[in-house]
Structure 1
C-alpha cells in the first residue's frame, strides 16, 4: 500500500508531499522492516503522478517482495529548484546550479528519518537503511552513501547525473570513510548519451566512481543497460537486479 502525507522541509521552509510504501500487513505482521529513502516520490509508484506519464512500477514490485518500507518525498517542480535541491555542489551546468543538496540531506537524516522511525515499524540501524534514486536522485544517493555512511549502508544509483559535478564528487569519494559492508548499485544506459563520445564519457565516469568506491572497500554492482534510456520505463526493469544486490533478496 502507498500512503501520502505532507512533511515540512525545514531548510527550505516548504511543505512537501511524501509517498510512503508499506507492506499491506504492516500493522498486523509484527515485523519490522528495512527502509529505503528515495527521491522523486511522485515518479515511483503511479503513472498518474509521474512527470512523464510512466512510473518505476515500484508498488507492484514491492507487493511481490513485501520486505521493505520506502519513504520518498516529492521533488520541487518549480523552475530549476529540483536541480538545486538534488545537487550537493555548485555546478556550472544549466547556466549555474546553486546546489543545496547538502542541506536537503541534513534534513533527511536529522529530521525526516527519525520521524519515520518513530511512526512506523522500521529497522532503524545502518545495516537496514538504504537510499536510492535516479538521475539527480542517483547523484544525491552517491553523495549520501559517502557523506552519511554511518546512516546508509546501501545506495541505489540509477543513471546518476555525476557529470554535473564530477570533480567535487570524486574529491568527496576520495576522502570518504566507508564501512566494508557498503553496497552500491550503479547503472547507466546505452541510449542516455548523445553519440559515442558522450557514451564513452558516461562510461568513464561510472567506472571511475566504481573504482573509487571499490578502493574504499565498498561492493559495487556497475550495470550497463544495453539500449537503456534515461527514463522511468527503463529504470523499472532494473528493480529486481538492484534490490537483490543491495538486500540479498531471494
Structure 2
C-alpha cells in the first residue's frame, strides 16, 4: 500500500539532470497552519513511498514507521520527507568526489571508472540539493529551515552520499542516516577524508547500520574502522552516533523497511 505524497516531475537543475521529487507532509500539516516542520531529505526517492515505483517492488515504509513511533509515544520532531529520485547516473552522483583528490586517489579511481557513466558528479549533486532543491522546499512548505532541523538519509551508495553531504555541508545538515553503507567501493580513501572532515559532534548526529547477508556481509570490518574514526572525532556512542548490526539482514528495501524506525527514532528524538 502506497503513501499519499506529492510529486514534482522532472524537477530542473543547472547542476545535474532533471528528476522527480516526491514530498510527504505530516497529517497535521494542513490543520496546524502556523506550525513549521523539520525536513528529511532521502536519496533513491522512488523507493521511499510507493511500491509501484520501488526498485524491488517494496518501499521503505517510512511513513507507517513514523506513525507507529508516534503511537508508541516517542517524542520526535515532526518532519516533511523529501524523496529525491535517482537517475541512470546514480553511481556518478552518489560516489564522494573529494576523497579521490588524495595522493592514492587517481589509482583507485582508475578501478572505478569502468563502472561510471562519466565523471564523478557528487559535488554537483550536493550543489543541486543545497542551492536548488532545499531553497525550493523551504519556499514552498512551512519548514524549519535551519541546520538543526535538516536531515539526510540513504542506503548503500545513498549512505555514502549522506555522510559526504554532512561533511561537506555541516552548516546545512545536522544529522545523517547511513543504512548498509557501501564502504568497499571507496575503502581507505573515504576513511582518510573523514579523519579530516568530520563535523562537530556537539551539533551533529550520525547513524550507521549493516546486515550480514549479501553485499552487507562485506561491511562489518569497514564499519568497525569508521567507528574508530567516530570515536577519535569525539562522537559518543548512543548519544550523537549509533552503529547497529542486524544478523540475517540482506541488502534490499525489505531489510531497510524492517529497521527504518531505528534511525528515525535516533535522529529525530527531541
Fold shared per TM-score above 0.5: yes
1:214–1:220 CA contact under 8 A, matched in 2: no
TM-score (norm 1): 0.89
SS in 2 for 1:222: strand
Structure 1 counterpart of 2:207: 185
Structure 2 counterpart of 1:11: 15
Q: Once structures 1 and 2 are overlaid, which stretch shifts more, 123-132 or 93-102?
A: 93-102
Q: Deviations over 1:112-167 (max 9, x none)?
A: 11111111011111111110000111110111111111111100000111211123
Q: For structure 2, which runs of at least 5 residues remain unmatched after alignment?
A: 71-76, 101-108
Write the mapping of 1:93-172 to structure 2, written as runs, cut at 5 A.
Answer: 93=112, 95-97=114-116, 98-172=119-193
Distance change (3 Å), C-alpha of 1:190 and 1:145: same
CA distance in 1: counterparts of 2:268 and 2:36, whole angstroms: 15
- 1:44 Cα deviation (Å)? 0.6
**Candidates 202, 219, 226, aligned match of 1:209:** 226
Please say if 1:52 is aligned against 2:56: yes
Q: For structure 1, which runs of at least 5 residues remain unmatched after alignment?
A: none
- 1:96 Cα deviation (Å)? 4.1
CA distance in 2: counterparts of 1:35 and 1:104, whole angstroms: 18
Structure 1 counterpart of 2:74: none
TM-score (norm 2): 0.83
CA distance in 2: counterparts of 1:102 and 1:171, whole angstroms: 18
CA distance in 2: counterparts of 1:16 and 1:138, whole angstroms: 19
CA distance in 1: counterparts of 2:136 and 2:85, whole angstroms: 17
CA distance in 2: counterparts of 1:151 and 1:168, whole angstroms: 24
Q: How many residues are matched?
A: 240
CA distance in 2: counterparts of 1:234 and 1:94, whole angstroms: 29
- 1:103 Cα deviation (Å)? 1.0
Please say if 1:232 is aligned against 2:232: no
Q: Deviations over 1:208-234 (max 9, x none)?
A: 122212322332211111101000000
- Cα RMSD of the aligned pairs, angstroms, is 1.9
Structure 2 counterpart of 1:73: 84
SS in 1 for 2:37: coil
1:146–1:176 CA contact under 8 A, matched in 2: yes
- 1:27 Cα deviation (Å)? 2.5
Structure 2 counterpart of 1:83: 91
SS in 1 for 2:143: coil
SS in 1 for 2:50: coil
1:146–1:172 CA contact under 8 A, matched in 2: no
SS in 1 for 2:213: helix
2:180–2:219 CA contact under 8 A, matched in 1: no
1:143–1:169 CA contact under 8 A, matched in 2: no
Q: Which has the higher contact order (CA 8 A, sep 6+)?
A: 2
